[in-house]
Copies of this chain bind each other. A is one copy, B any other.
């Protein structure tokens, strides 16, 4: 057992480039989320391939995956188009997110230990200071991290995977909204932590439900602008 003598952290995984399709997938996903590729736009394989400096094959495989995850629509014999979210779909997606996040909050309340709770408080403090500094990007990132942490504490891998996909798409649809929500969001986060720390499953569920519902309300108000 040679490996027993090695420190675990120093040789994490011998960072290797990884499959091309993965990197193409992430690149395209990034381009879509920052709206460099606009909804409805026709994605030509050879164009993307040339632009990324790879062959068409990895691009195809990445588009396949993006298709199954709902980012692009793959029309047979016609190609890939960036998905165009409708009002109805956005609303349905948010309904599902509310459901998944609320369940995660309940499970977190049931399972979380003191270490997890202090981690949440740390993230919450980081988010609040980011709000105070007006660092919008950091606010958004920390918000995502907070929800991810709650999901992790829930300890349900399947749920986490689904919620991860749904959350990212929600963030895509509601990017402008997320930038508006500001400080109020973090007050609600504090309430959630309190409920989880108290192991109050019902209250954690309800707080999280109200929290995500606020996002939807903000969205619909935005339409009036």
Contacts and interface: CB of A to CB of B under 8 A. Distances in A.
A65 B66 CA distance: 10
A159 B76 contact: no
Interface of A: 18-19, 21, 60-61, 64-65, 68-70, 76-77, 89, 92-93, 95-96, 99-100, 103, 156-159, 161-162, 166
Given A18-B76, A76-B18, A95 B64 contact: no
A103 to B, nearest CB: 5
B61 A93 contact: no
Contacts of A64: 21, 61, 64-65
Nearest to A94: B158
- Chain A contact residues, majority secondary structure: helix
A96 B18 contact: no
Nearest to A86: B157
Contacts of A60: 61
Contacts of A157: 89, 92
16 contacts: A18-B76, A19-B77, A21-B64, A60-B61, A61-B61, A64-B65, A89-B157, A92-B157, A92-B158, A95-B103, A95-B156, A96-B159, A96-B162, A99-B99, A99-B100, A99-B159
